[in-house]
Amino acid sequence: METPSKNRRCLSIMSGAITMRYDDKSIEDAVLALLAAYSDDNGNTWKGFDFEIMNRLHEHGFITDPVNRNKSVWLTDEGLERGRQIAERLFRVRTEAGDVAEPDA
């Protein structure tokens, strides 16, 4: 069985019948985007994601130290800006014409 590299995460489903490999950088980007999408305007957000990913985001300077008793972390200015950019790219609503849909009033 192949050992996952540092940049890949493996997920075995049903006793190894299906193996999926994920790029850690893409996962970090998605988690940062979700943290930003669900943060308040000041960057405070819940920290209910994988500990390793949260630690890496902290090491990159995108969030405050997640290792504490608090149930939330703060996105740094850089983390909030980058997270919002990624969230816009990943999660924005598009119309059939490819335009960005206006939010419901």
Which pLDDT score, from 0 to 100, does residue 17 have?
Answer: 54
Domain boundaries, the chain: 25-91
Cβ of 93: how many Cβ atoms within 10 Å? 10
CA 13 distance to own-chain centroid? 22
The token pair that represents 12 in the structure block: 């075995």
Q: For position 37, what pLDDT does the model report?
A: 94
pLDDT in tens, 62-101: 999 999 999 999 999 999 999 999 999 999 887 777 665 5
At 31 the pLDDT is: 96
Give the Cα separation of 100 and 65 in Å (integer).
35
User: Per-residue pLDDT averaged across 1-6, rounded?
Assistant: 44
Q: pLDDT band at residue 42, thresholds of 50, 70 and 90? A: confident
Residues 6+ apart with CB under 8 A from 11: 19, 20, 22
Contact 58, 84 (CB under 8 A): no
Instruction: Note whether 90 and 36 are within 8 A (CB).
Output: no
Tell me the average pLDDT across 34-42.
92
**Is 27's pLDDT higher than 70?**
yes
- What's the topology of domain 25-91? Arc Repressor Mutant, subunit A (1.10.10)
The residue-averaged pLDDT of 23-28 equals 92
Mean pLDDT of 40-65: 94
